Amino acid sequence: MIAAIGVILVVGIVMLSSATTAYAYSRYQDSYYFFKRQLFGLGLSLVVFYFLSNIDYRLWKKYAFLMLVISIVLLLLVFIPGLSANYGKARSWINVFGFSLQPSELVKISFLLYLSAWLESRKGRLKDVGEGTGPFLAVLGIISLLMLLQPDFGTLSIIAFSSLVIYYVGGGSKRHMAVIIIMAVLALVIMIKIKPYQADRFRCFNDPNYSANDVCYQVNQSLIAVGSGGFWGRGLGQSRQKFMYLPEVSGDSIFPIIAEEAGLVFSSLLVMLYFFLFYRGCRIAKNAPDDFGRILSIGIVTWLAFQALVNVGGMVNLIPMTGVPLPFVSYGGSAMISALGAVGILVNISKQTKYN
């Protein structure tokens, strides 16, 4: 598992350097601006990974409620004037000593720690509405509301999906899950009606030519990049779409650049590494020493694999584009620290796993 993540990290840093040269020079007069900052973030994240991989994961159960409080506080920080930073339509960032931080990325792990401990403590009672499903929906509803106010639908979808998966793994009722899914679909329909730009994403998914030069511009340019890469790619550094045609090449749209430069075969192998990560995580969960480790392991690998699929699926128009980074590859210190920190905890669970 560590080897797979290592390969993804190496591929990520190399491709980020290639994908962002034109944009970095245009905006900062430094072709390696994003590369150098990502190296710093990666170094800090590896320290966090090492630190958490050597802390007994059971310790986090003692601070479960604190993790919930931290999750709520982090999501509230983006609404504080002077601290919040707006990028486009979203208010998902804060400025701390000149550095940008995305609190919702850290909430992915803090909320997961709380929920895993809570689910273990409610073992055998989850199918009861008053003691299981009701409180689960209440807490998830608070987190969801704060994220919708930003709005950050992409991150919310990842947190909600991974939460629902571990609710089921922890012993939740299938009937209650069905009701929750129906409620989520209804909420999505209402949100699309309220937020026109969300409806546009579904229109672009259904017909990329709906507004090719405006609303659907990103998905069209993404498809051009992926398609023009062919089987073997144009070659490292030879992307054309990175020259200010495809938006967000440092973040959400880095996969199309990988596909354009490295081709279908290589980019498919990269996607397979995420599936392998999920498989190894499930192995760890299956043999975890306790329910907390089992639930937490499933939550971590579900989050990372699902986020990768959402990113790649959106870029190739298999699903509506939601705007989430590709784990371990896209630019962003907050996302890297969160993902590698989570893997550090997963490694610690693996260290205490007894295989037959």
Q: Which pLDDT value is given to residue 192?
A: 74
In a domain, 32, yes or no: yes
Q: Which pLDDT value is given to residue 87?
A: 55
Q: What is the pLDDT of residues 119-165, one digit of tens each?
A: 998 887 777 777 778 888 899 999 988 888 877 888 889 999 999 99
Q: Please report which confidence band the pLDDT of residue 304 belongs to, taking 50, 70 and 90 as the band edges.
A: very high
Q: Yes or no: say if 334 and 106 are a contact pair by the CB < 8 Å rule.
A: yes
In a domain, 18, yes or no: yes
Q: Which of 307, 341, 309, 255 is nearest to 42 (CA)?
A: 341
In a domain, 120, yes or no: yes
Q: What is the pLDDT of residues 182-192, one digit of tens each?
A: 888 888 788 77
Q: Which pLDDT value is given to residue 154?
A: 85
Q: Which pLDDT value is given to residue 80?
A: 80
In a domain, 251, yes or no: yes
Collect contacts of 226-229 with beta carbons under 8 A, ≥24 apart.
226/256, 226/259, 226/260, 226/267, 226/315, 226/316, 228/260, 229/259, 229/260, 229/261, 229/262, 229/263, 229/264, 229/267
Cross-strand partners of 100: 95
Q: Yes or no: say if 124 and 131 are a contact pair by the CB < 8 Å rule.
A: no
The DSSP element (H or E) to which 145 belongs, if any, is helix 134-148
Q: Which pLDDT value is given to residue 356?
A: 47
pLDDT reading at 251 higher than 80: yes
pTM of the predicted model as reported, rounded to 2 decimal places: 0.91
Tokens of 286: 């299956």
Scanning the structure block, which residue is given the tokens 């707006």?
86
Per the omega criterion (within 30 degrees of 0), is the bond before 151 cis?
yes
Q: What is the pLDDT of residues 63-114, one digit of tens each?
A: 999 999 988 888 888 888 767 666 555 567 777 666 677 888 899 999 999 9
In a domain, 356, yes or no: no
Q: How far apart are CA 66 and CA 61, in angstroms?
A: 10
Q: How far apart are CA 270 and CA 276, in angstroms?
A: 10
Percentage above 70 pLDDT, the chain: 95
In a domain, 63, yes or no: yes
In a domain, 271, yes or no: yes
Tell me how many domains the chain contains. 1
* 162: containing domain: 2-351
Residue partners of 189: CB distance under 8 A and separation at least 6: none
Q: Yes or no: say if 352 and 293 are a contact pair by the CB < 8 Å rule.
A: yes
In a domain, 105, yes or no: yes
